[in-house]
Amino acid sequence: MNLNKFSKILCWAVSGTLGVSTAAAATFPDRPVTVMVPYPAGGGTDALARKLARSLADYWKVPVVVENAGGAEGQIGTQRVLNAPADGYTLLFQISQMLLWNKTVPNNKIDAVNDFRYVSKIQTSPLVFGVSSKLPVRNFEEYVTWCKSNDCAWGSGSAYAQLIGKQLMAEAALADTVNVPYRGTAPMMTDVLGSHIAMAVPAVTSSLGQIKGGTFRALAVGSKMRFDQLPDVPTLAELKYSVQGETWYGLLVAKKTPQPAFERIVQAVRAVSTDESLRAQIRAEGGTPVFNAPDVFQREVEQESEQLNTLLDRYWAPQK
């Protein structure tokens, strides 16, 4: 084969590949898309994912179906996404807790940082450190003093809240207090409101109703700045603690998702991020709308993973 003929064939092959990619980008998605939520139906993560799915369905004009597969701290549903074809038709809706799996889940095989492409954060919500309104303390300083002579067992509904809570207890010289880990926020809130534990560490999204209703007293929040909906509640930084705790909720895809499909997903999320009804729903339930670029999200995840690994080494008992 002469060189000129080979060059022509090569050009045809390249242009054909580009044509397929362009066509794929133009038509994606042309069938239903699944949003995997690796947590039980009915919870806060599920509710937010369903709001996002409705917005994406309106934008794409194709069904966007939410599938729940809870269990193993979110690993079951997450693994299903990794096992599915990496074609962009199976999206993962996850939370920052997945960055702890390398040390909190025995025999973990999922690399939370490198097995995925991070599309965008959807919202953030700070952890809140609070007590039943029946407890005779009005602020965190009073709580620390009260704990010197009372049973101060505290609850966490996730490994993330448990880790951040342990850091705070250590800095407040309350490292000997008992942590009660719960399978979710709902049973923890039931127990703190019933005075079975002294303090609970939920996200604001999971406790705003009780705070507004006056049954759960917020003593501090884990965000860098005061939370708009709780303007009278100080940050832990204001109380001279180095502790920060804020959960993100975001959209991910498998690492090998083709670039054309990935770009269409990013484009869609960017478009629905301007939907004020979606943003208003997020705010109403205690979240802050946060839609960021993939490279920004990826970089933040890498940095947060390093920070959490440092905390895990210091405050987390080795898993056996």
Which residues does residue 121 pair with via DSSP β-bridges, in sequence order?
Answer: 250
Residue 71 is encoded by which pair of tokens? 């269990």
Between the two ends of the chain, the Cα-to-Cα distance in Å is 63
Distance CA 53, CA 271 (A): 13
Q: What is the CATH number of domain 128-221?
A: 3.40.190.10
With vertex at residue 205, the alpha carbon angle to CA 308 and CA 147, rounded to the nearest 5 degrees, is 65
- pLDDT score for 10: 47
Residue 266 is encoded by which pair of tokens? 């990013």
Q: Where are the domains of the chain?
A: 29-125+246-315, 128-221
Instruction: Annotate 42-94 with DSSP letters as a single string.
Output: TSHHHHHHHHHHHHHHHHHTS-EEEEE---GGGHHHHHHHHHS-SSSSEEEEE
Which residues does residue 92 pair with via DSSP β-bridges, in sequence order?
Answer: 36, 252
Residues 6 or more apart in contact with residue 86 via CB below 8 angstroms: 253, 254, 255, 256, 257, 258
- pLDDT score for 20: 44
Which 3 state secondary structure label does DSSP give 188? helix
Residues 6 or more apart in contact with residue 242 via CB below 8 angstroms: 171, 236
Distance CA 277, CA 299 (A): 29
State phi, psi for 319 to the nearest 5 degrees.
Answer: -85, 140
Distance CA 52, CA 221 (A): 26
Common-topology check for domains 29-125+246-315 and 128-221: yes
- pLDDT score for 24: 55
Q: Which residues of the chain fall short of a pLDDT of 50?
A: 6, 10, 14-22, 319-320
Nearest CA among 203, 205, 183, 201 for reference residue 192: 201
> From residue 264, how far is each of 60, 120, 136, 298 by CA, in Å?
10, 13, 54, 18
- pLDDT score for 17: 46
User: 3.40.50.300, 1.10.630.10, 3.40.190.150, 2.30.30.240: which CATH number matches 29-125+246-315?
Assistant: 3.40.190.150
- pLDDT score for 167: 97
Nearest CA among 146, 135, 137, 133 for reference residue 174: 146
- pLDDT score for 261: 98
Distance CA 221, CA 203 (A): 9
